[in-house]
């Protein structure tokens, strides 16, 4: 950690006497409504006559749009402005600027709206920051943490509490002035993503006060004047729980009932990830702040009941991650002892992440661990970590302890793969499989055995291709002319663009669903999706080939099935269609054993055909141009997702 001239210069600048003509400061974002279509912008001006106005535009647009709001009551000097941006596009990047004194505007900043379900996103959890430049030298890492988080572009930043430590740092006089400084300190990352808080023991007990902080943080309503609230991002449901009692102290029964109902509602709605985050840890071997066993006794069974896979906590000045656990509080069972990869049926992983830059007043450093070797439930621990970076997709959550996310995330946990993601030095990485959408609480052992027999008799579908291209470049496909991977998906750059997948063997039955958007009103012949029985083709060997193809012809679509020997084939009539500039789900199924093969758009059947062929089925999958490149790709077409499921 470095705390030299750069940190001092920053602190000196913020301590300079402010004037009414000072530019806007304390800019930060929040969510109070649907995170995929709205965002709240807040900032402070010392000149109270400045209008509450925000200019914003979607990335790539030239024309600014304007939204207006009003003052938000708080203890800051001047005016704290609040403006709600509405009717935004989900999963999209926006630029914005805020009004300043004398008709001026702030710099231009950017954020992304939350995606809809089935789209990946990134989150950062940080807590226990303190204020940069403390005279006692305990915040030597704070500036570094702020700078590191500011380099990222997460969709949301989860703040875990203990920001200012006002009881031991009163350089700025009043508590409100101290909070002003904190918001300016975190502004490098607070301008980029909504900052969604839970509160710690310092905000609640130690010469501070909940309302001083809550006045600065808009959130959904929730329970007890927003001390407990929840919100949803993609497939994840986040629950902010005010849990600030250090080693002892239980939550009120009204809170437990609210948490129970909130998690149950989210699970019933089909959210894959339920992620509670709170300040005080349920599992902590740190000598400064050990586990709160009351919270463990109350919340552990609730989290297990609703299939919570991940719980985020802070408070102690060290990092700890448990194995997935079940049976809290009396009988703690490890459902896996793997170091990093956990399946859909595993228990709850508890993370303690801290501090976010500030060392402990108790021992003037990171917390020492009480137990050596670590407790049996501990998968990883380290007392030099400062923040957590997590990437959530529909089926997996990837955890990064103070290390970078790759565009596509780690390779994943597959039982048939020896691949393992190499963590950064001294880093911790982990991967969780999401519970099934129809999750139910664990059953008794006898019923579990019976359920296992029933599941063995009816295995789930095998989907060897399940790609979300908004997460970045795919490692599974074998590109011929790879096109371009953009935040929207895989974009076709030329008529020869193609992504190719090898299923490993031939399958007589299969289904496909793709999501596409672009210039679909074409006057030529194009391939959107193809499945073939051979990988490569030439004019000389066409007689041995067969394929299933979804074609775009003269603005409509057509299904084609072919097996060359004997001329067995089905070619439907062109189904005339109107196309708009929006996402479409194109799909269908093939059955080379004589069953029906189909073509669908947005769930509506367009064509059905049959033919019985003697070959073994299809093995190679093509997006874009087909195997022969007779039917070419459509330049400008974007593939957002592809899923292929197969049967023997």
Query: Which is more confidently placed, 315 or 54?
Result: 54
Same domain? 390 vs 498:
no
Write down the pLDDT at residue 44: 98
Residue 252 sits in the same domain as residue 392: yes
- Number of domains forming the structure of the chain: 2
pLDDT bracket for residue 599 (50, 70, 90): confident
Q: Is the pLDDT reported for residue 322 higher than 90?
A: yes
**Average pLDDT score over residue span 297-306:** 96
Is 76 among the domain residues? no
CATH number for position 300: 3.60.21.10
User: Are residues 322 and 245 part of one domain?
Assistant: yes
CA dist 631 and 495 (Å) reads 9
* CA nearest to 238, candidates 204, 278, 211, 210: 278
User: Could you tell me the pTM of the whole model?
Assistant: 0.66
What's 548's domain CATH number?
2.60.120.200
Strands of 273-278's sheet, edge to edge? 228-233, 236-241, 273-278, 310-313, 349-352, 319-322, 378-382
pLDDT at residue 473 in the model? 62
At 19, is the pLDDT very low, low, confident or very high (cuts 50, 70, 90)?
low
- Whether residue 455 lies inside any domain: the answer is no
Strands 349-352 and 310-313: parallel
382 DSSP β-pair partners: 319
| Residues 467, 428 share a domain | no
pLDDT in tens, 242-267: 998 877 889 999 999 999 999 999 99
**Residue 468 to residue 489: CA distance in whole angstroms:** 8
Predicted local distance difference test score (pLDDT) of residue 425: 31
pLDDT at position 423, please? 30
- 420 and 487 both lie in a single domain: no
The C-alpha angle 409, 414, 420, rounded to 5 degrees, equals: 55
Q: Are 289 and 383 in contact (CB under 8 A)?
A: no
End-of-domain residue from the set 388, 417, 433: 433
Which residues pair with residue 229 across a beta bridge? 240
| DSSP SS3 for 349 | strand
Give the pLDDT of residue 536: 60
Does 293 map to a domain?
A: yes
Distance CA 532, CA 223 (A): 56
Residue 90's φ and ψ, nearest 5 degrees, are -60, 145
Measured in residues, the chain has a length of 648
In a domain, 42, yes or no: no
pLDDT, tens digit (0-9, with 9 covering 90-100), for 404-418: 333 334 333 332 222
Count of alpha carbons within 13 Å of 610, Cβ hemisphere only?
5
Q: What is the band of 564 on the pLDDT scale with cuts at 50, 70, 90?
A: low
The secondary element (H helix, E strand) that includes residue 382 is strand 378-382
Spatial CA neighbour of 588 closest among 645, 505, 532, 641: 645
Burial of 426 (0-12, 13-18, 19+ CB in 10 A): exposed
Q: Which residue has the higher pLDDT, 151 or 614?
A: 151
Rg (CA), the chain: 27
pLDDT-wise least confident of 197-211, 325-339, 366-380, 597-611: 597-611
Chain centre distance of CA 267: 17
State how far the Cα of 442 lies from the Cα of 605, in Å rounded to an integer.
39
Instruction: Quickly state the pLDDT bin for 458 (edges 50, 70, 90).
Output: very low
Whole-number pLDDT of residue 466: 84
Q: Which of 199-203, 554-558, 568-572 has the lowest mean pLDDT?
A: 568-572
Residue where a domain stops, chosen among 416, 433, 450: 433
Residue range 77-100: mean pLDDT, rounded: 97
Residue 133: the pLDDT is 94
Same domain flag for 267 and 412: yes
Name the average pLDDT for the chain. Answer: 82
CA nearest to 246, candidates 218, 220, 281:
281
609 and 498 fall within a common domain? yes
Helix axes 5-15 and 142-150, enclosed angle (nearest 10): 90
**Residues 492 and 386 reside in one and the same domain:** no
pLDDT at 628: 66
Report the distance separating Cα 259 and Cα 245, nearest Å. 18
309, 269 contact by CB (below 8 A)? no
Are 271 and 212 in a shared domain?
yes
**Phi-psi sector, 507: left (phi>0), alpha (psi -120 to 50), beta:** beta
Closest CA to 477 of 489, 488, 487: 489
The total of other beta-carbon atoms located within 10 Å of residue 640's CB is: 21
Report phi then psi at 39, rounded to 5: -150, 140
Residue 533 has pLDDT above 90, yes or no: no
Ramachandran quadrant class, 560 (left: phi over 0; alpha: psi -120 to 50; beta: rest): beta
Nearest residue to 387 via CA among 159, 164, 130, 165 = 159
Mean pLDDT on 96-121? 95
CA–CA separation, 145 and 135 (whole Å): 18
Token pair for 623: 């997006």
> What is the per-residue pLDDT across 261-290, written as a single tens digit (0 to 9) for each?
999 999 999 898 999 999 999 999 988 888
* Higher local confidence (pLDDT), 7 or 569: 569
Rounded Cα distance between 542 and 538, Å, is 6
H/E element, 179: helix 175-185
Q: Cα 177 to chain center, whole Å?
A: 34
Q: Would you say residue 447 lies in a domain? A: no
Q: Identify whether residues 478 and 346 lie together within a single domain.
A: no
pLDDT at residue number 215: 95
Dihedral of the CA atoms 50, 51, 57, 61 (nearest 10)?
-70
The 10s digit of each residue's pLDDT in 127-162 is: 999 999 999 999 888 898 899 899 988 999 999 999
108's tokens: 């231009």
Average pLDDT of span 461-467:
82
Range of the domain at 552: 462-647
State how far the Cα of 68 lies from the Cα of 87, in Å rounded to an integer: 14
- pLDDT beyond 80 at 349: yes
Nearest one of 389, 114, 400 to 234, comparing CA atoms: 114
* Angle, vertex CA 130, rays to CA 125 and CA 133, nearest 5: 130
Q: Are residues 290 and 410 in the same domain?
A: yes
Q: What is the pLDDT of residue 232?
A: 97
Q: How confident is the model at residue 543 (pLDDT cuts 50, 70, 90)?
A: low
Would you say residue 118 has pLDDT above 90? no
Task: Give residues with Cβ within 8 angstroms of 517, minimum separation 6.
Answer: 488, 489, 581, 582, 583, 584, 637, 638, 640
637 burial level (CB within 10 Å; 0-12, 13-18, 19+): buried
Dist. CA 10–CA 13, nearest whole Å: 5
Contact yes or no for 352/125 (Cβ under 8 A): no
Answer whether residue 44 is part of any domain: no
- Same domain for 267 and 342: yes
Tell me whether residue 438 is in a domain: no
Pair 171, 16: CB distance under 8 Å: no
Under 8 Å between Cβ of 584 and 517: yes
Q: Is residue 291 part of a domain?
A: yes
User: Which segment of 99-103, 174-178, 475-479 scores lowest on mean pLDDT?
Assistant: 475-479
Residue keyed to tokens 């990335």? 59
Torsions phi, psi for 534 (to 5 deg): -130, 150
Assess whether pLDDT exceeds 80 at residue 371.
yes
The predicted model gives 66-78 an average pLDDT of: 96
Averaged pLDDT for residues 302-324:
92
Q: Which of 386, 412, 433 is the last residue of a domain?
A: 433
pLDDT in tens, 424-442: 334 576 677 666 545 555 4
In angstroms, the CA 415 to CA 413 distance is 7
504: burial class by Cβ within 10 Å (0-12, 13-18, 19+)?
Answer: exposed
Asked if residue 314 has pLDDT above 80, the reply is yes
């Amino acid at each position: 950690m470095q705390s030299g001239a750069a940190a001092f210069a920053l602190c000196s600048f913020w301590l300079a006497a402010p004037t009414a003509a000072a530019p806007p400061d304390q800019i930060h974002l929040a969510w109070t409504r649907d995170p995929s279509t709205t965002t709240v912008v807040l900032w402070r001006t010392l000149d109270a006559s400045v209008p509450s106005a925000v200019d914003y535009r979607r990335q790539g647009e030239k024309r600014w749009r304007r939204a207006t709001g009003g003052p938000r009551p708080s203890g800051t000097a001047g005016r704290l402005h609040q403006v709600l941006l509405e009717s935004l596009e989900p999963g999209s990047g926006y630029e914005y600027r805020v009004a300043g004194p004398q008709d001026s505007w702030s710099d231009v900043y950017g954020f992304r709206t939350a995606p809809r379900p089935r789209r990946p996103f990134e989150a950062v959890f940080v807590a226990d920051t303190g204020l940069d430049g403390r005279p006692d030298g305990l915040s030597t890492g704070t500036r570094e943490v702020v700078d590191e988080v500011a380099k990222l572009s997460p969709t949301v930043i989860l703040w875990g509490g203990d920001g200012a430590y006002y009881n031991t740092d009163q350089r700025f006089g009043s508590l409100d002035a101290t909070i002003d400084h904190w918001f300016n300190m975190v502004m490098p990352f607070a301008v980029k993503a909504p900052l969604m808080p839970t509160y710690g023991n310092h905000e609640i007990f130690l010469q501070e006060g909940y309302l001083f902080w809550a006045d600065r943080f808009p959130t959904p309503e929730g329970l007890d004047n927003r001390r407990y609230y929840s919100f949803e991002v993609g497939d994840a449901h986040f629950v902010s729980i005010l849990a600030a009692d250090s080693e002892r102290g239980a939550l009120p029964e009204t809170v437990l009932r609210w948490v129970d109902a909130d998690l149950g509602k989210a699970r019933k709605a089909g959210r894959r990830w339920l992620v509670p985050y709170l300040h005080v840890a349920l599992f902590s071997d740190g000598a400064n702040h050990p586990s709160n066993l009351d919270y463990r006794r109350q919340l552990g069974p609730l989290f297990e009941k609703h299939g919570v896979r991940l719980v985020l906590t802070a408070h102690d000045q060290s990092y700890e991650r448990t194995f997935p656990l079940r049976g809290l509080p009396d009988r703690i069972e490890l459902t896996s002892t793997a170091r990093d990869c956990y399946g859909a049926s595993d228990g709850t992983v508890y993370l303690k992440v801290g501090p976010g830059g500030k060392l402990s007043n108790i021992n003037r450093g990171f917390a020492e661990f009480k137990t050596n070797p670590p407790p049996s439930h501990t998968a990883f621990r380290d007392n030099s970590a400062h923040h957590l970076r997590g990437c959530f997709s529909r089926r997996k959550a990837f955890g990064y302890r103070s290390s970078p996310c790759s565009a596509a995330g780690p390779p994943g946990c597959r039982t048939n793969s020896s691949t393992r993601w190499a963590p950064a030095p001294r880093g911790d990485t982990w991967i969780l499989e999401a519970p099934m959408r129809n999750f139910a609480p664990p059953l008794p052992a006898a019923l579990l055995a019976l359920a296992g027999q029933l599941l063995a008799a009816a295995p789930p579908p095998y989907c060897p291709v399940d790609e979300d291209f908004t997460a970045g470049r795919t490692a599974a496909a074998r590109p011929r002319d790879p096109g371009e991977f953009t935040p929207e998906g895989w974009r076709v750059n030329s008529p020869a663009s193609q992504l190719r997948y090898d299923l490993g063997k031939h399958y007589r039955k299969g289904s496909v669903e793709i999501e596409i958007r672009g210039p679909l009103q074409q006057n030529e012949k194009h391939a959107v999706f193809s499945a073939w029985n051979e990988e490569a083709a030439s004019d000389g060997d066409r007689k041995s080939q067969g394929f299933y193809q979804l074609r775009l012809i003269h603005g409509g679509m057509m299904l084609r099935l072919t097996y060359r020997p004997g001329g067995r084939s089905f070619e439907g009539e062109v189904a005339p269609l109107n196309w708009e500039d929006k996402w479409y789900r194109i799909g269908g199924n093939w059955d080379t054993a004589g069953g029906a093969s189909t073509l669908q758009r947005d769930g509506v059947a367009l064509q059905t055909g049959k033919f019985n062929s003697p070959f073994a089925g299809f093995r190679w999958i093509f997006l874009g141009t087909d195997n022969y490149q007779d039917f070419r790709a459509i330049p400008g077409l974007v593939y957002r997702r592809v899923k292929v499921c197969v049967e023997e």
